[in-house]
Structure 1
């Protein structure tokens, strides 16, 4: 199944990318990763990867490494346009040399988020075998600016390359070897420890689809195998792939689990969840808080399932109790909100 010996360039060997890297190495791919720190590069090299030092703004490094690679994964962030443009430039160079490239970019289902602010369960469900519904999203939707650059590149390159966009929902799970966690629910857990209660936005009624990071990593490689074996003209029909495990959660239910675990551990004084006042949103995701942890985002991964992929890992609540929250309770750093880019778009 795997095309052993093909060269992969992986941008972003972090929470998602490290899991993808392990699957690729296990299948015999030669993987070069872009990493900022020499200490992490040494660790990656011990695992069997090659490394190139640099960051997302190192255009020349990304272009050159793309030109040298048959396959490119971007798992660093859904919101960095210059690095995606550098990959596309490298793919165009390869196309001019008669070389085809596979490129899988990581977006996210924040693009589907509504304005519920936690107050209701949304009815709209998006299916990845109905690309017209995704294309109908406003250009200002989260992550959409970057995704549109890829959609345009697909149209320009035609059958000279195979470009696809992986769009995961809320990602959960922890790898105790790597001590890396996802964003939304761990941030709500850290908020609870700091403020003494587990909180949700609005009524906490809104729903999100979910995926364990290990199931997601296998989803990427399932997608890769499909791209390797499918005619480029067929790939052009639809760029989008969701990846969810068939379950959804309401924010209030996840917060209730966070509250119970932290209360039982003596970290907070009450296990009763309550609404977070807007004045405390800066300790979460700032002005994006209501969208990041209060919206509805419901997706169905029909396409990966048709390719034989199926989720196998533990469910969200079980993972929170057994994996994520214990790691968070070990953290020593002072928490003052999520520091990265939580959302994008001009909406």
Structure 2
């Protein structure tokens, strides 16, 4: 149980709302930063207190952080000002002798190998070997903000407990929230618009994945570990991968095949066979980021979380897609989709 601890979640959306649900069940007092009235009403019904604002409201985020024992940033992996605002609040608490737990969300795009739909890679990253993560170039996706947090962690030392969760491709659907992930649903909407499922290049690269509810449980397992451990152990290694695939990561070509067959079975496209995605149609997927976000290798292993007792128990990506996500996507208005324009966490 929570022992009265207060939690602040920046971005209780696709990931964070599932974390929020678990924390409420465990007796924590939770506040969530939200942008829309409808979302505020949703998390209020889940038992949390909404605070209206955006990621650019630095003073608000710092103030809320300073008033909470535990902070999660689950909104995006690439908004530096909001992460800095949290760190400012953590430092304010440290100046008063108050320790803070802060879990930031990065993503395994940081492992980008530049494959762009080319070849499968045998390279697998293990988060119990920090040197493997430290070998990633400073220019890699998400790396700037990860390094900003690591620098602040060193400065704070024992005054704060800081960790960085690095999820892979996230899938899954919680019917209570009615929210979908990004990559596979975006490729599905593309297929509905153009009549065929697509993959970048050969589609051979592999990407580890995780069900969003398994990921939410992992955040809470990590949080409990941080409650019970010293800041020193986190200083040694703040990084945590979270995947459910082991050595069974699907390729992008395999994902496109399932999308095509699923839509064909649903009577939405005539030909289930996937094709290579033409570059002139990247705008209907993820624009300039298409060949990176849905075309690279990103293979990781959650050794540290498994050592803490966490294990994935939800449906695998294929079953989840066909049973839960695809039925929701085909209900949407088709034809007008013009690519995903938001920020991709993983």
Length-normalised TM-score, structure 2:
0.97
Q: Structure 2: how far apart are the matches of 1:343 and 1:318?
A: 23
Deviations along 1:231-281, one digit per CA (max 9) or x if unpaired, are 111221101000001241111111101101111112112101110111111
1:182 lines up with 2:181 in the alignment: yes
Determine if contact 1:292/1:343 at 8 Å carries over to the other structure. Answer: no
- How many equivalent residue pairs? 343
- TM-aligned CA deviation for residue 343 of structure 1: 7.4
Aligned alpha-carbon RMSD (Å): 1.2
Deviations along 1:151-186, one digit per CA (max 9) or x if unpaired, are 000011011000100000010001122110111111
**What SS class does the counterpart of residue 165 from structure 1 fall into?**
strand
Residue aligning to 1:209: 208
Superposition pairs for residues 110-259 of structure 1, below 5 Å?
110-245=109-244, 246=246, 247-259=248-260
Which segments of structure 1 move beyond 4 Å, counting only runs of 4 or more? Answer: none
Determine if contact 2:76/2:345 at 8 Å carries over to the other structure. Answer: no
- TM-aligned CA deviation for residue 300 of structure 1: 0.3
1:276 lines up with 2:286 in the alignment: no
- TM-aligned CA deviation for residue 47 of structure 1: 1.5
Q: Which range moves more in the overlay, 30-39 or 155-164?
A: 30-39
Q: Structure 2: how far apart are the matches of 1:126 and 1:6?
A: 34
- TM-aligned CA deviation for residue 31 of structure 1: 0.3
Residue aligning to 1:324: 325
**What SS class does the counterpart of residue 165 from structure 2 fall into?**
strand
Q: Structure 2: how far apart are the matches of 1:227 and 1:138?
A: 28
Q: Which runs of 5+ in 2 are unaligned?
A: none
Q: Which runs of 5+ in 1 are unaligned?
A: none
1:341 lines up with 2:317 in the alignment: no
Determine if contact 1:24/1:221 at 8 Å carries over to the other structure. Answer: yes
Q: Structure 1: how far apart are the matches of 2:317 and 2:109?
A: 18
Q: Structure 1: how far apart are the matches of 2:304 and 2:152?
A: 22
Determine if contact 2:243/2:300 at 8 Å carries over to the other structure. Answer: yes
Determine if contact 1:6/1:71 at 8 Å carries over to the other structure. Answer: yes
- TM-aligned CA deviation for residue 42 of structure 1: 2.0
Q: Structure 2: how far apart are the matches of 1:267 and 1:38?
A: 34
Q: Structure 2: how far apart are the matches of 1:276 and 1:52?
A: 41
